[in-house]
Structure 1
C-alpha cells in the first residue's frame, strides 16, 4: 500500500516534490537578512555612493536568486534544466548592464 506521500517521493504522482516548510522559512529569513543589510547600508551611508550602488546591485541579485530558488522553485520540473540556465544567463546580463551603466555614469563625472 502506498500513500500519496509515497507516490510523490517515488515519482508516480505529480511531477513536483512535496515542499517542506523549512525551505520557505530559510528563504524568508535570507530575504529578510538581505533586505536588512541593504537598508542598513543605505540608511547609515556606510560607503561612498559608487561602491554603495555596486553592493546594493549585488545584494539585489542575491535577493532575486533567493526568490527564484526558494519560492518559485526554478530547479523543479519535468524537462531539462534549460529554463534555470536561461534565468541564470539573464541574471548575468542584467548585472552586466546595471554595472556597466553605473560605470558609465561615474565615468562621465570624471571627464568633465
Structure 2
C-alpha cells in the first residue's frame, strides 16, 4: 500500500540508467538546432557554390542523424548496445553500396549512350 500505483511511480530512481539525462537531451537539442541553422544560413545568404552547399547539407544531415541516434534514441545504452551499433553500421554500409552502385550504373548508362 505504501507504493504508488500510477504509471510514473518507480521510474525516477532509475531515470539515469534507462533513459538519457536532462543534460543529454539539452546537449542533443542544442546540437540539432546548430546543425539545422548552419546550412540554413549558408543557403539563405548564398555563401557557397551549388556543389559546396549540397555537400554541406549532406554532411550536416549525416551529423544530425548521428546526434538523433546518440542523444535521443539511446543507441549507446542498454544490454544490446554493441549489436545495435553493429546492425546500424551494417545497414549504413548496405545503403552506401546501393546508392553508390546506383549512381555508378546511371553514370555508366549515360556515358554509354
| Cα separation, 1, equivalents of 2:46 and 2:93 | 27
- The runs of 4+ residues in structure 1 deviating greater than 2 Å are 16-19, 88-98
| Cα separation, 1, equivalents of 2:54 and 2:19 | 39
| Cα separation, 2, equivalents of 1:93 and 1:45 | 34
Instruction: From the CA coordinates, give the structure whose radius of gyration is larger.
Output: 2
Pairwise CA distance, 1:36: 0.5
Q: Is the 1:61–1:95 Cα contact (8 Å) retained in structure 2?
A: no
Q: Quote the residue 2:32 is aligned against.
A: 31
| Cα separation, 1, equivalents of 2:93 and 2:55 | 14
Q: Is the 1:57–1:95 Cα contact (8 Å) retained in structure 2?
A: no
Give the unaligned 5+ runs of structure 2. Answer: 1-9
Aligned residues: 93
| Equivalences for residues 1-112 of structure 1 within 5 A | 5=13, 8=14, 16-79=17-80, 81-91=82-92, 94=95, 97=99, 101=103
Give the unaligned 5+ runs of structure 1. Answer: 10-15
| Cα separation, 1, equivalents of 2:61 and 2:72 | 16
